Structure 1
């Protein structure tokens, strides 16, 4: 009977591969408007050989997550590759196993030429948990694992890199693509400090003539979602703008929740665990207004990452001015009034990094900004 089981197993594997191939073709046609993108299809035998049969020595612990595993490997034509294994069991809980993987492959193939995305080599459709293969010539780390090691100038550049990636999704194609699940787990930093975005399973396109789409709002990454998305499932390019604003605040505080706990307690008298700030828009507004007040009072030491401040020593006027501008821009992103486009966010981030003591401070010592949204106007349009 072993031959019969083996025959059924092979038949099931072939059927799965064909179904995924058909779905991938659909995604490529829909996302790429019929234009072809070079995708190499690896056999499972090739992947096993490249990873020494998924040997533990090839497992990348620093990139692992509950929905995917990562391995390093090499082939005759690629001296180093990075392989992502989608966790089909997890994704299938949301009915996303097949479709989400194919969407990830399709959009990854579209953006692979851009420096702020992982470069896709190909995929393997044969395995139960499907595989994506990337160029892995440089070591990559998850952002939230190494953020504490990053100095202030690096954090500004990371924000610019990710905003640039999102701006590319919004503007480089006939229809805007909205990433919609911007979380630190999807951001990798290479050995040169270049931030790269990956994971497009939830990415959606905005139909021509429309400004938004309605989708199911999963729980994933709730703190990075705006109210329209959380309440009504409305996704637009502003969904990503809100997310980059929240990410900027996280970059400033080092993904530490200590300051958030303290602020929340001072405002409400409760711990965050007592009343979910993620789902309460009023509490979100309180937190943001409180952050603004701390910034106006020059109390950046209560906002910024203590580990970063410790390494910096005394904060220079230039750095303080940059942090204020950075926080102001993040608040513009998460406001509901005069929300900037992602292209404008990129321009502002470049401007903040170029700022110097001479052009960022007035003789009176008050911070000045070229942006039309200065502190005075921002205070009138708080959340």
Structure 2
């Protein structure tokens, strides 16, 4: 028996199966695109499973973007640049591939499709990754982005400059404000995790922050101000979730404001998780920060490593830190009306000057 013939026919079967799978998923994606983008989706490329495998050298270890965290639900890969002459090689280095660890199934297909759909809509904005296309044929879907020059995760252990943290806050606020206002319906990012923020470390001003996962994004129906979700399946990190979301499943622009307020407090204190205070009954964790405002004691709660790096803290910087903390408290609803993210971004721009 000619083994290569059986091998070939088997390959043909696999290929057919993949393309059927790709087509079915493409249709699901199209529905999501039409839903999200009001029927005007941006053009994106569809890559075959073989193209993705070739690009990543079959997801080889040497192509992993090892500089990026492992504690997110996806892995990042650089283009291998193999089998290309030098001229092509350079061109291909320009992509970064995000491979979901979850398999594409009934439960999560909406998440993947939403990630792709919204990525395609926000692609032109500097605080989001630029989507080139996606691969839906394999069990684990992938998204293909234009590469950032020097990607890194937002890591509070290494990002020790106060000015850079301020800049990151301003950029993420701008990204959230864009999601809330740029489309006919507001999109709520919903789950702001540090692992979903990438920094592009090259370029002027030392890095641009980019949001890079939209699988939890929710659109608010036209004419409504909120949407109700079942949040029992979320589990885990509650620290960016306000009570109205956690207890009643209510998602609105305020959900993002709250998550962002907590994010600001993490940037200021260097605490990556307010974990020990995180039982449902005892969700008072942001309270203790208030006590340090206005008495010149802000240094007591600010990230000590960041303070060391700053050396002498001027009164002006201290005022800036206090203003930053007050703004974070407004975001989490401790000081009257919760501000809109557009307003938060504006105030941070003024602070950053």
TM-score range, shorter chain: 0.7 to 0.9
Q: 2:223 is matched with which residue: 196, 206, 209?
A: 209
Note the alpha carbon deviations across 1:241-274, whole angstroms, 9 max, x for none. 00110000001112356xx68xxxxxxxxxx2xx
Aligned to 2:165: 155
Within 5 A, what are the aligned runs for 1:257-336? 272=276, 277-280=278-281, 283-285=282-284, 287-335=285-333
1:14–1:42 Cα change, 3 Å: closer
Residues 53, 59 of structure 2: 8 Å contact kept = yes
User: Match of 1:200, SS?
Assistant: coil
Aligned to 1:86: 100
For 1:175 and 1:157, the matched residues in 2 are separated by 27
For 1:195 and 1:147, the matched residues in 2 are separated by 16
Within 5 A, what are the aligned runs for 1:53-202? 53-63=58-68, 64-73=70-79, 76=88, 78-89=92-103, 95-96=107-108, 98-144=109-155, 147-192=157-202, 193-202=207-216
For 2:297 and 2:13, the matched residues in 1 are separated by 67
Q: What is the RMSD of the two structures over their aligned residues, measured on CA atoms?
A: 2.2
User: Match of 2:293, SS?
Assistant: helix
For 2:165 and 2:131, the matched residues in 1 are separated by 25
Aligned to 1:376: none
Structure 2: stretches of 5+ with no match in the other structure: 1-5, 82-87
For 1:82 and 1:108, the matched residues in 2 are separated by 14
Shift of 1:78: 4.2
Aligned to 2:3: none
Residues 43, 126 of structure 1: 8 Å contact kept = yes
User: Match of 1:298, SS?
Assistant: coil
Shift of 1:13: 2.4
Q: Report which structure shows greater RCO (CA 8 Å, sep ≥6).
A: 2
TM-score, with length taken from structure 2: 0.88
Greater shift, 233-242 or 33-42, is seen at 33-42
For 1:226 and 1:19, the matched residues in 2 are separated by 37
Structure 1: stretches of 5+ with no match in the other structure: 262-271, 355-383
User: Match of 1:88, SS?
Assistant: coil
Q: Does 1:47 align with 2:46?
A: no
Within 5 A, what are the aligned runs for 1:365-380? none
User: Match of 1:133, SS?
Assistant: strand
How many residue pairs get aligned? The number is 332
For 2:260 and 2:130, the matched residues in 1 are separated by 22
For 1:78 and 1:113, the matched residues in 2 are separated by 20
Aligned to 1:351: 350
User: Match of 1:84, SS?
Assistant: strand
User: Match of 2:23, SS?
Assistant: helix
Note the alpha carbon deviations across 1:279-338, whole angstroms, 9 max, x for none. 23xx333x3332111223322222111110111112110110000000000000001631
Aligned to 1:252: 268
